[in-house]
């Protein structure tokens, strides 16, 4: 009946696969997309396999062989540089987490050592981060006061670090690293800017020398808390802080202008600490409203494994805190590792990194450390100082250990306001105004995700911002599937392809035939919509044709090129559409269904329902098949009649 | 440099739209996909507009004009038929909900009246349903005992009905009807089968004449409760039940075989009730272990508006119950309405239906009714009895009202075991074994969704089944976006198109060029995956070429035909891929980006980055452009060199 169409190549159904094999392939694609064991599998000798396996788990075995003196020189320089940043930052962030300052130093000793053995990044510098520290304080502080019950608070911090590490390791072992991808680029920009704002606001406490402060992190509560205490603001503290807040950004600016002078901004925090401490020491400023760190314990990390709290009601709090801070730390660490790997053109295995982060946090929680990851600032300094391998982390750890053993008394006079200034200066770089503007320009929805993350963090809590941005991002994915675009296609003159007539206004449509392109998968979430929308396109087209008194509509070609998958609701929808069209005396024609579609459609006998000849490889072929019938069959001719039973039977 | 490519039509960027206009279009497509106000908008006169508006809100104004005596005859017959089903079913389901049996009759009086005015389906018969009844009992029963505190329980049932109606109306008014689509066809099959199993198990209480029974609905608790009471099983009750359980399916079988005899199965429940009642009355069976309904109040629905409970702690319970049962009832009612509308070839507006359902439940909650919707069984009988309009609902309501006013004493001797038998017989039809098998055949994942809904309901609770199936369905959508398929394309001999080589094994690939097709949108959730996966395809291809000592790989063509949308993470990914390829001395070529893609890519200057000449309308053109460069430019010729700076600059 439609012989011309038969000359074209047929649309094929891919060869059937046994269920278990296709399940295995699917799971492989979801969980082992990067084929991590490819090399090991291809190796025949067992001893070699074990060696490759060990190297896979401990990347140090990979790079330690080729290690040489040149590398060591670079690593020692960068290691010492990051140590000079790590010490003041560690103390500052520990204060942000309402933990004893010494914990910041402990956390720069054990975790970097673990990472050096298991991590696969060459540039990542391990340490604590501001946002996770603040989040720990906010979440634990809601139920346990760090002031009234410091011991329990401390132990809960270790426990939540343990859970964070455990979760990170499990995610890595279960190959669920992709879950971290739920934090989109846009969400992270907004979230970071919000967190930076909140952290800066928190620092006003140190800057103004206040001793009481709200536990909330939102801008309204913080500002209210600050202005209600205006009588006890200490101008001395504020003035000193402003000096450092002036000094630190200038060093950053210099380093940015001249990348060779990276060490100026890297050293600036330590220099600030030294100057601040000397200032207090010589002027006895501690008696004039400048708060100081005071005594720090000497000695390296004491064990804390016995302090982990696994009894209710606190274990759930620690678990929740651990999971949320752990995911956040993971997202930051992996993003940082990936960025630098891209610069140097090597690969990072996300799942392997997770296991490394997890192990360093588990061991950290056993040795008085709290949550660590790969902070951006420290890693950037490490990279700029031309580190070569993870040995720079070891050097940093040794430098911190030396400090812990011999130099802690030097920090007695360090003013808190210097630490606040260091944090504020570090945070300013996290508010990426330009990136947000770029989002607005490129993709309004991404900007909206970014904005809601920011506002959620600033006016709500960090968790609200996080949930909001993830929720909206996921909603977008669902919306994409729930409301796929359908557009009319037209022929681009003198060429074969048919394209969207909105994108190519010069493309010409045909009378009697409407070609609809569905731009997404056909799933339960959109099948009702698609059915209604196809109906509306046809109504509109018929209305138009009636007005212009042209030929009436006869064929609906559905271009399924972009329909990646279909489920049973989708198949039912196609069958319904076919029935509805049949009643309206229209013929449904299918163009270019993909492999997955053909597999399912042929199982459902859909090709037999609409007639196998009405499924074509390209839109052009479908059109010419329709044209053939239209022009050989005059109205009421036998040809026309012979076409009818086909869709009256269904 | 690539002149041949320039002869082809260019890929175009659609004309820019003002932000607000495109936002409006998007929202329109999401919320007003069916263009409900199209007619009203096109009308110029205000009076006509108001008339159309009223007709839109009250479909009765639409069909009442053309109403005639023939219609009335059909409607009276079908109305009486469904009333004969409604009375015993109403009493049974009310018992299932642990509510006084009379409520089942009340609920078949007011709601059908409201629906007749506002509903747009011609075939839907309004009434209570088993699953929602059971769910009400399960959810309310968890916190308030229907036996110990029947008054509070009753008032909470009214309140949850009110909230269900309120939510349904709001969903309709806010045009959020599409949210119901989250329940996929597969989930509903599994859920219904599970609910039917659970409901049948619950009926064992009535069948065995037990007076104590577990509040749990899972199969383990129910069976344990039944077998622990084996000494008090009443064989008389069981025997009577079995008789009816034999009679009812037989009538169904007859009606199925001969559709003309539909009234046999429709009348069967009423006949069972009459026979059962006569049996008890004459044999005084109530003294021999057969439980009976007992006294039913006379008179139509008393007002219950003052009984609604809006005080904590119970208001939250009622709200939660209302929302969950309301969504479920809505999903069933709309699906039923749609199915019958499809048979008769008319349209149903989901949002309008929601408002109608919502209003009937709100008015119902004011007049001693509990949750109603459009049950499948009753609507099917209505349809079979050739109803013409919603007047059949009015007839049913009047028949029920007459029963309430004069005939309730007749139900005094009705044995509970008959009601249990009626419910079991109705439930058996809901276990759609064949449909589940069909799911397995067509789509394993859908079968998995169905199975998890079933197992969740049977071994957990109804809510667990619901959450599980919705969760897994949504996960599937996310997985589609998170792991889009990428496949290699080859040329189908003697034709232009390039297709998936897995689907078309005869398609030939080219040396030096690899063509990758991405089958889904590029979003944050998949951009890391896509980057890694593209890298792996290239590695594999290079490995293959190295083994066969063919030409080395030079071009990567990405066919973006099926990429419906992209976000900023996706754009970054493409830029990264371009950089990585540049470092490996490979050239990235893009084929057929759609409207949305071109809009965003051109804003991000991506076309300039890879060179505008390297974006083509079809894969075939991209290939011939690459071929042109490959064959005119010998290695190390000026042409080759001139190509290089392009990707070293980025």
Per-residue model confidence as pLDDT tens digits over B542-552: 888 888 877 78
Q: Residue B294 pLDDT > 90, yes or no?
A: no
> Is residue A462 within 8 Å of A447, Cβ to Cβ?
no
A492, B9 contact by CB (below 8 A): yes
Name the pLDDT band for B3 (thresholds 50, 70, 90): very low
Comparing CB atoms, the residue among A474, A499, A568 nearest residue B185 is A568
Contact A626, A555 (CB under 8 A): yes
Percent of chain B at pLDDT exceeding 90? 27
**Alpha carbons A509 and B257: distance in angstroms, whole number:** 49
User: Is A618 touching B (CB cutoff 8 A)?
Assistant: yes
Nearest CA in chain B to A476: B523
Per-residue pLDDT, averaged over B111-135, amounts to 91
Cβ pair B595:A526 closer than 8 A: no
Mean pLDDT, chain A, integer: 85
pLDDT of residue B633: 61
Q: Which residue of chain B is at minimal alpha-carbon distance from A348?
A: B532
Closest Cα in chain A to B598: A503
Question: Which of A442, A477, A512 represents a domain boundary (last residue)?
Answer: A477
More confident position, A88 or A495:
A88
Residue-level pLDDT at B4: 43
Which of B251, B75, B641, B186 shows the shortest CA–CA distance to B444? Answer: B186
Domains in chain A, number: 2
In this complex, is the C-beta atom of A485 within 8 Å of any C-beta atom belonging to chain B? Answer: yes
| A452 and A514 part of one domain | no
**Is the pLDDT assigned to residue A640 strictly greater than 50?**
no
Judged by a CB distance cut-off of 8 A, whether residue A519 touches chain B is yes
Q: Is residue B450 part of a domain?
A: yes
Rounded CA separation B23/A513 (Å): 30
pLDDT tens digits along B381-426: 888 778 889 999 999 999 999 999 998 888 888 888 888 888 788 7
The pLDDT of residue A3 is above 50: no
Q: What is the pLDDT of residue B136?
A: 92
Q: In what order do the strands lie in the sheet with A485-491?
A: A498-500, A485-491, A513-519, A555-559, A587-591, A615-616
Instruction: Give chain A's end-to-end CA distance (angstroms, integer).
Output: 18
A647: pLDDT strictly greater than 70: no
CATH number for the domain harbouring residue B550: 3.30.750.24
The 10s digit of each residue's pLDDT in B334-369 is: 878 877 776 776 777 788 899 999 999 999 999 999
> What pLDDT score was predicted for residue B650?
31
State residue A326's pLDDT score: 93
Please enumerate in sequence order all residues whose Cβ is within 8 A of that of B440, keeping only pairs 6 or more positions apart, or say none: B447
Q: Tell whether A559 and A573 lie within a shared domain.
A: yes
- How far apart (Å, rounded) are the C-alpha atoms in residues A225 and B481? 45
The reply to whether A461 and A494 lie within a common domain is: no
> How near does any CA of chain B get to the CA of A254, in Å?
26
Residues of A in contact with B527 (CB under 8 A): 181
Considering the domain architecture, whether residues A179 and A321 belong to the same structural domain is answered as: yes
User: Which residue in A98, A201, A92 sits closest to A423, CA to CA?
Assistant: A92
Closest to A378 in 3D by CA, of A87, A119, A572, A117: A87
Out of B477, B510, B541, a domain closes at B477
Asked whether residue A355 carries a pLDDT value surpassing 90, the answer given is: yes
Cβ pair A567:B598 closer than 8 A = no
Chain A CA closest to residue B487:
A595
Contacts of A482 in chain B (CB under 8 A): 178, 181
Helix (H) or strand (E) holding A516: strand A513-519
Q: Which of A12, A504, A569 sits opposite B185 (nearest CB)?
A: A569
How close does chain B come to A443, measured CA to CA in Å? 6
Give the pLDDT score at B394: 95
A150 has pLDDT over 60:
yes
Q: Is A7 a member of any domain?
A: no
Question: Residue A104 domain-assigned?
Answer: yes
CB atoms B182 and A525 under 8 Å:
yes
Q: Is A239 on the interface with B (CB under 8 A)?
A: no
A212 and A310 part of one domain:
yes
Judged by DSSP in three states, A570 sits in helix
Cβ separation B503–A12 shorter than 8 A: yes
- Cβ pair A196, A377 in contact under 8 A: no
d(CA B544, CA B274): 80
Residue B272 included in any domain: yes
CB A271 within 8 A of CB A245: no
DSSP per-residue letters across B592-635: ---HHHHHHHHHTTHHHHH-GGGEESSHHHHHHHHHHHHHHS-T
Which of chain A's residues have a Cβ under 8 Å away from the Cβ of B179? none
pLDDT band of residue B14 (cuts 50, 70, 90) is confident
Asked whether residue A43 is domain-assigned, the answer is no
Specify the pLDDT at position B643: 37
B422 shares its domain with B539: no
Q: Which of the four pLDDT bands, split at 50, 70 and 90, describes residue A102?
A: very high
Asked if B577 contacts B606 with a C-beta cutoff of 8 angstroms, the reply is no
CA distance B306 to B288: 41
A444 and A569 in a common domain: no
| pLDDT above 70 as % of chain B | 95
Quickly state the pLDDT bin for B167 (edges 50, 70, 90).
very high
pLDDT grade for B211, boundaries at 50, 70 and 90: confident
Q: Which are the contacts of A641, defined by CB distance < 8 A and separation ≥ 6? A: none
Interface test with A, best of B15, B185, B349, B602 (most A CBs within 10 A): B185
3-class SS of residue B519: strand
Contacts of A566 in chain B (CB under 8 A): 443
Residues A282, A398 within the same domain? yes
In a domain, B17, yes or no: no
Are B439 and B503 members of one domain? no
| Coil, helix or strand at residue B1 | coil
Interchain CB distance below 8 Å, A477 and B533: no
Question: Chain B neighbours among A 162-221 (CB < 8 Å)?
Answer: 178, 181-187
pLDDT at residue B189 greater than cutoff 80: yes
Closest-CA distance, B636 to chain A, in angstroms, reads 25
From the candidates B32, B507, B519, B532, which should be mutated to test the interface with A, based on the most A CB atoms within 10 A? B519
The Cα-based distances of A415 to A285, A463, A499, A526 in angstroms read 9, 31, 67, 61
Q: Which domain, by its residues, includes A605?
A: 483-648
CB contact under 8 A, A520 and B564: yes
Confidence band for B560, pLDDT divided at 50, 70 and 90: very high
Per-residue confidence at A105, pLDDT binned at 50, 70, 90? very high
Per-residue pLDDT tens for A393-433?
999 999 999 999 998 888 888 888 888 888 788 778 778 88
Residue B464 in domain? yes
B568 & B472 share domain: no
Collect all residues of chain A within an 8 Å Cβ-Cβ radius of residue B483.
Answer: 29-30, 33
Residue B517's DSSP bridge partners are: B487, B559
- Residue A166 tokens read as 């455990």
Q: Does B34 sit within 8 Å of A536, measured CB to CB?
A: yes
**Residue B494 confidence class, pLDDT cut points 50, 70, 90:** low
- pLDDT confidence of residue B501: 87
Question: Which domain-ending residue is among A429, A458, A477?
Answer: A477
So what's the ipTM on this one?
0.81
Residues of chain B in contact with residue A570, where contact means CB-CB under 8 angstroms, are none
Is some CB atom of chain A closer than 8 A to the CB atom of B302?
no
- Residue B116 and residue A41: Cα distance in Å, rounded? 69
Q: Return d(Cα A286, Cα A290) in angstroms, integer.
A: 5
Per-residue burial over B529-552, b if 16 or more Cβ lie within 10 Å, else e, is bbbbbbbebbeebeeebeeeeeee
pLDDT of residue A643: 38
Measure the N-to-C terminal CA separation of chain B; round to a whole number of Å: 18
| Chain B residues near residue A529 by CB distance under 8 angstroms | 33, 178, 181
Q: Which residues of A483-495 are buried (b: 16+ CB within 10 A; e: fewer)?
A: bbbbbbbbbbeeb
Q: Is the pLDDT of residue A232 over 90?
A: no
Portion 556-585 of A in contact with B at CB < 8 A: 561-569, 571-572, 576, 579-580, 583
Most B-contacting residue of A521, A544, A623 (CB-CB within 10 A), to test interface: A521
Q: What one-character DSSP code corresponds to residue B460?
A: S
Convert the pLDDT of each residue in B587-607 to its tens digit: 999 999 988 899 899 889 999
The phi-psi region of residue B396 (left if phi > 0; otherwise alpha if psi is between -120 and 50; otherwise beta) is alpha
Peptide bond into B313 cis (omega under 30): yes
Whether residue A490 is found in the same domain as residue A470 = no
Predicted confidence (pLDDT) at residue B454 exceeds the cutoff of 80: yes
**Segment B422-448 mean pLDDT:** 86
Residues paired with residue B615 on neighbouring β-strands, in sequence order: B590
The answer as to whether B45 is a domain residue is: no
Residue of B nearest to A20 (CA): B444
CA atoms within 13 A on the CB side of B534: 27
Q: How confident is the model at residue A158 (pLDDT cuts 50, 70, 90)?
A: very high
Mean pLDDT on A35-58:
80
pLDDT grade for A112, boundaries at 50, 70 and 90: very high
> For residues B590 and B637, which has the higher predicted lDDT (pLDDT)?
B590
pLDDT band at A7 (very low <50, low <70, confident <90, very high): low
Assess contact for A164 and A172: CB atoms under 8 A.
no
Q: Which of B488, B524, B596 to mutate to test the interface with A (most CBs of A within 10 A)?
A: B524
List the alpha helices (DSSP H) in A9-149: 19-31, 38-42, 46-57, 59-64, 69-96, 102-106, 110-118, 130-141
Indicate whether B642 pLDDT > 70: no
Task: State how far Cα B91 lies from the chain centre.
Answer: 28
Tell me what pLDDT residue B52 has: 84
Write down the pLDDT at residue B590. Answer: 94
Tell me which residue of B113, B108, B157, B111 sits closest to B133, measured CA to CA. Answer: B157
Query: Tens of pLDDT along B315-325?
Result: 999 999 999 89
pLDDT for B443 beyond 60: yes
CB proximity A644 to B under 8 Å: no
Closest CA to B177 of B371, B52, B375, B34: B34
Say how far apart CA A350 and CA A181 lie, in whole Å. Answer: 10
Residue with structure tokens 């996960």? B475
pLDDT of residue B213: 78
The helix (run of H) or strand (run of E) holding residue B514 is strand B513-519
Give tens-digit pLDDT for A254-313.
Answer: 888 887 887 787 788 888 888 999 998 998 888 887 888 888 888 889 999 999 989 888
Contact: B499, A23; criterion CB under 8 Å:
no
Residue in A closest to B604 by C-alpha: A442
A629 with A589: CB under 8 angstroms? no
Query: What's the confidence (pLDDT) of residue A645?
Result: 35
Q: Does B532 touch chain A (CB under 8 A)?
A: yes
Which chain B residues are closer than 8 Å to A483 by Cβ? 29-30, 33
Contact yes or no for B564 and A504 at CB 8 A: no
Mean pLDDT of B583-590: 90
Geometric angle at alpha carbon A78, from A76 and A81, rounded to 5°: 110
Chain A neighbors of B595, CB-CB under 8 A:
487, 500, 502-503
| CB-CB contact of A393 with A115 (8 Å) | yes
CB B570 within 8 A of CB B522: yes
Same domain, residue pair A235 and A342: yes
Of A93, A421, A87, give the one whose Cα is nearest residue A279.
Answer: A421
3-state secondary structure of B319: helix
Secondary structure element (H or E) that encloses residue B112, with its range: helix B110-118
């Amino acid at each position: 009946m439609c012989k011309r169409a038969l000359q074209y190549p047929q649309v094929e159904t891919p060869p059937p696969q046994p269920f278990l094999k296709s399940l295995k392939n699917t799971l492989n694609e979801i969980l082992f997309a990067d084929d991590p064991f490819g090399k090991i599998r291809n190796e025949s000798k067992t001893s070699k396999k074990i060696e490759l396996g060990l190297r896979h788990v401990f990347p140090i075995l990979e790079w330690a062989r080729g290690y040489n003196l040149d590398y060591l020189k670079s690593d020692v320089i960068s290691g010492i540089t990051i140590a000079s940043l790590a010490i003041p930052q560690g103390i500052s962030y520990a204060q942000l987490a309402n933990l004893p300052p010494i914990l910041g130093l402990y956390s720069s000793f054990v975790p970097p050592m673990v990472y050096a053995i298991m991590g696969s990044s060459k540039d990542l510098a391990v340490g604590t981060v501001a946002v996770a520290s603040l989040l720990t304080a906010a979440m634990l502080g809601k139920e346990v006061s760090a002031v009234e019950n410091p011991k329990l608070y401390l132990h809960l911090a270790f426990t939540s670090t343990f859970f964070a590490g455990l979760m990170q390791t499990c995610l890595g072992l279960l190959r669920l690293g992709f879950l971290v991808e739920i934090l989109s680029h846009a969400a992270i920009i907004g979230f970071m800017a919000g967190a930076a704002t909140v952290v800066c606001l928190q620092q006003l406490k140190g800057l103004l020398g206040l001793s009481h402060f709200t536990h909330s992190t939102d801008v309204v509560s913080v500002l209210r808390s600050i202005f209600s205490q205006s009588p006890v603001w200490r101008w001395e503290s504020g003035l000193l802080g402003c000096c450092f807040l002036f000094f630190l950004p200038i060093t950053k600016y210099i380093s940015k202008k001249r990348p060779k002078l990276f060490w100026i901004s890297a050293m600036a925090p330590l220099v600030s600490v030294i100057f601040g401490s000397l200032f207090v020491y010589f002027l006895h400023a501690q008696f004039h409203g400048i708060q100081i760190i005071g005594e720090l314990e000497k000695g390296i990390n004491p064990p804390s494994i016995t302090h982990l709290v696994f009894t209710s009601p606190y274990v759930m709090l620690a678990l929740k805190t651990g999971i949320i801070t752990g995911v956040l730390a993971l997202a930051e660490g992996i993003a940082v590792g990936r960025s630098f790997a891209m610069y140097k053109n090597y690969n990072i295995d996300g799942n392997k990194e997770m296991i490394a982060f997890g192990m360093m946090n588990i061991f950290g929680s056993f040795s008085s450390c709290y949550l660590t990851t790969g902070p951006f600032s420290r890693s950037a300094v490490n990279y700029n100082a031309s580190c070569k391998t993870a040995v720079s982390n070891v050097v940093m750890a040794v430098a911190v250990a030396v400090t812990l053993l011999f130099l802690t008394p030097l920090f007695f006079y360090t003013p808190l306001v210097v630490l606040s200034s260091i944090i504020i200066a570090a945070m300013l770089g996290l508010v990426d105004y330009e990136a947000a503007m770029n989002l607005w320009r490129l993709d309004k929805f991404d900007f909206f995700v970014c904005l809601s993350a920011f506002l959620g963090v600033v006016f709500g809590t960090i968790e609200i911002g996080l949930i909001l941005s993830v929720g909206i991002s996921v909603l977008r994915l669902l919306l994409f599937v729930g409301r796929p675009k359908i557009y009319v296609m037209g022929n681009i003159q003198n060429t074969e392809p048919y394209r969207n007539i909105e994108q190519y206004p010069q493309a010409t449509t045909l009378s009697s035939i409407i070609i609809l392109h569905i731009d997404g998968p056909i799933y339960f979430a959109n099948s009702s919509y698609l059915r209604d929308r196809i109906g509306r396109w046809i109504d509109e087209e018929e209305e138009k044709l009636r007005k212009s008194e042209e030929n009436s509509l006869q064929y609906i070609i559905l271009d399924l090129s972009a329909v990646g998958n279909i489920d049973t609701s989708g198949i039912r929808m196609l069958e319904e559409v076919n029935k509805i069209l049949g009643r309206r005396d229209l013929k449904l024609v299918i163009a270019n269904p993909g492999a997955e579609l053909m597999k399912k459609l042929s199982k459902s006998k859909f090709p037999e329902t609409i007639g196998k000849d009405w499924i074509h490889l390209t839109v052009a072929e479908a059109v010419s098949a329709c044209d053939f019938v239209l022009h050989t069959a005059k109205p009421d001719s036998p040809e026309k009649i012979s076409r009818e039973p086909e869709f009256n039977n269904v």
